[in-house]
Structure 1
Amino acid sequence: MTQTEQVIRLFTDKSAIGTTHIDSQDENLSLEDGQILVALDSFGLSSNNITYAALGDWLNYWKFFPTGNDAYGHMPVWGFANVVASANPDIAVGERFYGYFPISSHLRMQPSRVTARGFHDDMPHRRELVSAYNFYTRCSTDAGYSPDMEDYQMLFRPLFITSYMLADFLADNDYFGAKRLVVSSASSKTAYGTAYCLAGQDDVEVVALTSARNAEFVQSLDCYDKVVSYEELNTLGQEVPTAYIDFSGATDLRMRIHKCFGDSLVYDCFVGTAANTGERVKVDVPGPKPVFFFAPDQIKKRNKDWGPEGVTERFSAQEKVFYLKLGEGATPWMEVVSRRGMEGAQEFIATLFNTGGDPRQGMVVKL
């Protein structure tokens, strides 16, 4: 089967991840038996994607979609794609899938373990990478899918699965003895998703740590027990066993946290970097060493505990309620802002890298 298409890609400069350029060329996308060709339709962008790039070499994010040039990478995104050609009897042209894609007009894939739920991409270079990122969900059978909620799903499912599993991980470990969780970059979507999942837990206080600029927004979410600015950190008492949940990745803030709480700091959980520092967890700090939280590890544990269907059922139920929460009321938690084409993606990426973006906005690109 011969398929020639103009393929448009957005490449990220690995040494300056806020810098991107558009590459366009005609390619022969012939399919081997069992393969499919998909066209990316739409995707979300958030600080999560900046994290993928910042940690791209460390956590192998660059390896999912090789560019053939070590200086440039394909920033991964979560979105929807349609099948435009198929040499696979179990997948039809026109089917729509949700999953992990490069910012590229087309992607050739090798589906394996095809079921009613979806498939895994079995391209040779992906076989040794984290399985959770290789699974693509068939929209027609996805219990959590709704056409009018696609924007929320693109923006929040990859974040909310981290939020849900992080909250579950902390509760599963009795918060490591903490009675207070201090959450940095509390205005970030993954952070307040975690706080939402933890709401109602009487045995632990969830404290938002945020910039003075975002304090009003974080307060309006009403999912944290207390909101303090970074300048007010020292107003938190040291007598309560405390865990630090780090969505910031800022080395100087981590040091301040450790010095502020001293012996009362019982756990340091590094979730990701909302800043553009590319900071690693191997830093010299007093007290507990930072431990990196990787959502697929907790998913793997819960797959054994609850079974994959049980995990999907529990997560989907929570996800649907959360999406409704995002858009309700006179001042919804999030406003979707969309742009067209690769140029729109470039604009959003530069904004996220340079400023972190507006916490009330969700950025969606339509191709």
Structure 2
Amino acid sequence: MTTQDNGALQSGEVLMKIDRFALTTNNITYAAFGDAQMKYWSFFPTGDADWGHMPVWGFADVVASTVAGVEVGERFYGYFPIASHFRMLPVRVTPRGFYDGAPHRAELVSAYNQYMRCSNDAGYSAALEDYQMLVRPLFITSFMLADFLEDNRFFGAKQVLVSSASSKTASGTAFCLDARDGLALIGATSAGNRAYVEGLGCYDRVVDYAEVTALPADVPTLYVDFAGNDALRANVHHHFGDALVYDCYAGSAQNTAFLNQTGLPGPEPTLYFAPVQIRKRNADWGPQEVNRRFNKAQGQFIAQLAQPGNRWMALAHGDGFVHAQAVIADLHAGRVDPRSAHVVRLADRPGA
């Protein structure tokens, strides 16, 4: 669906031109669970019940503004629709950035309404933009998931089994769990991705899905599920039984349904939602300390990703909406090489 207007701004509005955005399985999760508690489809409503704007993370430039403190030419990082332009109502404007004050976003999760001013963002580097927009939304999930597990002392587990271990969010979580005090971290993946996951070096052991039931069944186990595969979940629950201490459902690109009642032995799957842990840590540590810890960990991760020939990812650039549509279809179907990190460019900028 295409929406057009004359572009004239009302008082309090700015117009952003979206320059580039990242596409990962995280975006497919947004779409799959868009009608659930996170209400991802509600951020950029179309007015048509049959169509929605898939949210993406990226960079945009101010091309028109009626708001003091948000100037034409400034660049912001944040949560955007897949569109050429985006009209916004900045509120709570500070040197760090602003929040979109559009009325329909008032009841939505505030973390997705914040837009960071690149000129005053400690985590920003112009030379590393592509890595930052690929990593930041995933890595905040990874960072806070690792913190959630540590905060709960891994629910008493002695080993953590991670499905879809090749995914960027899963491997980012493993990166953040580097110091585990003897806790075993096991990555489960498809046979085709096994060599890639072993090459990451962030799991103590890698198994393919057929080997999960060969793991010791009497070891207290925490299941972190990025696959959302019903048959795999059933195998995990039946195999570990009472030794399964927690089933943490972190989202999936392929499974668009969340099982609230599985009828399986052991704990019910519990949906992990990063903003909940962010709010907790903001209360525990204060927002500045949360940002400091996150920026430090993210900086260390990006430094590894940006090294030529790194084992984690390779940038895959493309231009325009047609290319974005093709990548989305491949992501949903699971046809994307796990090393590929997709960046879509919409605007013509020097050096782009």
TM bracket (short chain): over 0.9
1:116 aligns with 2:95: yes
Partner of 1:168: 147
What does 1:101-250 align with in structure 2 at a 5 Å threshold?
Answer: 101-250=80-229
TM-score normalised by length of structure 1: 0.92
Aligned residue-pair number = 345
Partner of 1:84: 63
Where structure 1 has 5 or more consecutive residues not aligned to the other structure, the ranges are: 1-22
Shift of 1:154: 1.2
**Whole-angstrom CA distance in 1 between matches of 2:110 and 2:192:** 38
**Whole-angstrom CA distance in 2 between matches of 1:276 and 1:263:** 26
**Whole-angstrom CA distance in 2 between matches of 1:25 and 1:267:** 45
CA RMSD of aligned residues (A): 1.2
Shift of 1:283: 2.4
* Partner SS state of residue 89, structure 1: coil
The AA in structure 1 aligned to 2:160 is L
Shift of 1:347: 1.2
**1:194-243 Cα shifts (integer Å, max 9, x gaps):** 00000121231110000000000000000001100001111210121000
1:36 aligns with 2:14: yes
Partner of 1:9: none
The AA in structure 2 aligned to 1:61 is Y
The AA in structure 1 aligned to 2:304 is K
**1:226-272 Cα shifts (integer Å, max 9, x gaps):** 10000111121012100000001111111111001111000000010
The AA in structure 1 aligned to 2:311 is P
**Whole-angstrom CA distance in 1 between matches of 2:160 and 2:308:** 28
Partner of 1:8: none
**Whole-angstrom CA distance in 2 between matches of 1:279 and 1:39:** 35
**1:101-139 Cα shifts (integer Å, max 9, x gaps):** 000111111111111111110100000000000000000
TM-score normalised by length of structure 2: 0.95
Contact 1:270–1:281 (8 Å) recurs in 2: no
Partner of 2:350: none
Q: 1:330 to 1:96 in 2, by over 3 A?
A: closer
1:353 aligns with 2:327: no
Shift of 1:28: 2.0
**1:162-192 Cα shifts (integer Å, max 9, x gaps):** 0000000000010010111000000000000
**Whole-angstrom CA distance in 2 between matches of 1:276 and 1:352:** 12
Partner of 2:75: 96
Q: 1:346 to 1:329 in 2, by over 3 A?
A: closer
1:252 aligns with 2:231: yes
Partner of 1:338: 317
The AA in structure 2 aligned to 1:258 is H
Contact 1:339–1:365 (8 Å) recurs in 2: yes
Partner of 2:262: 283
**1:54-103 Cα shifts (integer Å, max 9, x gaps):** 10111310000001110111000000000000000111000000000000
